[in-house]
Amino acid sequence: MHPLSRPADILAAVAPFRPSQGGRINPALLASRLGATHCAGRYAFSSEPYVVEGAQTIHQRLGYRHLKLWFYELEHVYSQNSAWRSADHATLVERASHPYFQAAFALPFDTIALEVKFSPAGDRHPRPAGHMVAPDMDFAAEEEELYQLTKYLLQTYRDRTVTFILQNWEGDWMIREYPGAPWTDPAKLPADLEVRVETYVKWFAARQRGVNRARAEFATRSPGSKCRVLHAIEVNRVFDTLLGAPTLCNRVMPRVEVDLISWSAYDGMQIDAHGTGDAAAIGIWQGIEIIRAHARTYERDSKGRPQVMLGEFGVAENKLTPDKPAEPILEGTVAAALAQDVALLHYWELFCNESNDPKYRDAPLDRNLRADELGGYWLIKPDNTLGRAGAWFDAILRS
């Protein structure tokens, strides 16, 4: 890959998008790209089914045009005021046709991204130790599940201008089996590394084939449909590529052509290490360069480069120190993403999911958690006021 851009050049390129540097973020441009994720929040404000409450809040209160939802572990991540009745054992089409998702999808979002970590074909298949995707999974069944879901969405929403994006969860953690697995030390790499790489190449290729098949058939039968369905690979350890570690960027993406790449971009924001707008801008810019150097995508940006979206970015406001305020980090992240012409920016998240007390991390809620019991990944706080990120985005969008 080509050398990464120099920090000084990056800061000069993003300065026109940074109000603190005398630049400006165009509200219309931000509105066309900004979305939010709703997943596993630890508080609620209404009696609506939780997935519906979140979608309504993002659309009606925040005014965002893009939505991201989880499409698995539904009885856990959307438990409040909900009766899913074993929806996680249903096919992807059956999940999409559930009344809760139908209500969420009916809202006039421009884009709805769905985190399809597993289809039933992958979720029910026995997985050996160390593997989130089984090497001997029936990839034809996986392809068929994505095909059927794509066909359903294209048919159901054919008269509406909306794009659905089907993507995996953070792929580098998936291939490593668990979050935080260190692969930067060659001595600690798994013995079955090549098996894992081949598995993920096959998995992503099967999912893309399913989407491609449905699109091709539907275009023949129903020309002029307004609905689109895309498939994305999500990566999350982009900078490990520079350390020589095996990543989805350097081992999987060059071998699979997909619609676009989603980046869960916390390693680019570099909050813990630096906590400044400059560091975030440089990290996001260079991370996108690394991705584009390895990606093969059907979707392209305005300059013909592989299309990238920020599948996740966020700030844990309760964990910031006075010398690391949220606003400069947000400004640097957003400025670099807009300057690099990314497709979408999905903020993590609407209602905070990260509790400080381990007893609440995976347990059902017996009450709404307070702000001081949470990490602070929120646009709206437990007292129903905007968090710092929510207020910062709101000020730009309404300017």
Q: Letter for the amino acid at 235?
A: V
Residue 2 lies in a domain: no
Largest Cα span, the chain: 58
In a domain, 53, yes or no: yes
pLDDT at 241: 96
Q: Is residue 200 part of a domain?
A: yes
Taking CA 317 as the corner, what is the angle to CA 313 and CA 322, rounded to the nearest 5 degrees?
120
pLDDT of the residue at 399: 86
Contact 78, 41 (CB under 8 A): no
Q: Long-range contact list for 221-226, CB < 8 A, 24+ apart?
A: 222/154, 222/155, 222/158, 225/154, 225/158, 225/159, 226/157, 226/158, 226/159, 226/160, 226/161, 226/162
Q: Of 45, 166, 31, whose CA–CA distance to 109 is shortest?
A: 31
88 found inside a domain: yes
Would you call 10 exposed, middle or buried from its count of C-beta atoms within 10 A (0-12, 13-18, 19+)?
buried
pTM for the full predicted model: 0.96
Q: Supply the pLDDT for residue 238.
A: 97
Q: What domain range is 290 assigned to?
A: 7-397
Two tokens, residue 225: 């449909």
Residue 1: inside a domain, yes or no?
Answer: no
Look at residue 274 in the predicted model and tell me its pLDDT. 56
For residues 98 and 257, give the distance between their C-alpha atoms in angstroms, rounded to a whole number: 31
Number of domains in the chain: 1
The per-residue pLDDT string of the chain (399 residues; one tens digit each, 9 = 90 and over) reads 779 999 999 999 999 999 999 999 999 999 999 999 999 999 999 999 999 999 999 999 999 999 999 999 999 899 999 999 877 678 999 999 999 999 999 999 999 999 999 888 888 888 888 899 999 999 999 999 999 999 999 999 999 999 999 999 999 999 998 888 889 999 889 999 999 999 999 999 999 999 999 999 998 887 878 999 999 999 999 999 999 999 999 999 999 999 999 999 999 997 555 568 999 999 999 999 999 999 999 999 999 999 999 999 999 999 888 777 899 999 999 999 999 999 999 999 999 999 987 776 766 677 899 999 999 999 999 999 999 999 999 999 998
Q: What is the CATH number of the domain that holds 140?
A: 3.20.20.80
d(CA 268, CA 282): 8
Q: Could you tell me if residue 293 is inside a domain? A: yes
Dist. CA 206–CA 209, nearest whole Å: 5
What six digits make up the tokens of 171? 């792929």
So what's the pLDDT on residue 219?
Answer: 85
Question: H/E/C letters for each residue in 186-232?
Answer: HHHCCCCHHHHHHHHHHHHHHHHHHHHHHHHHHHHHCCCCCCEEEEE
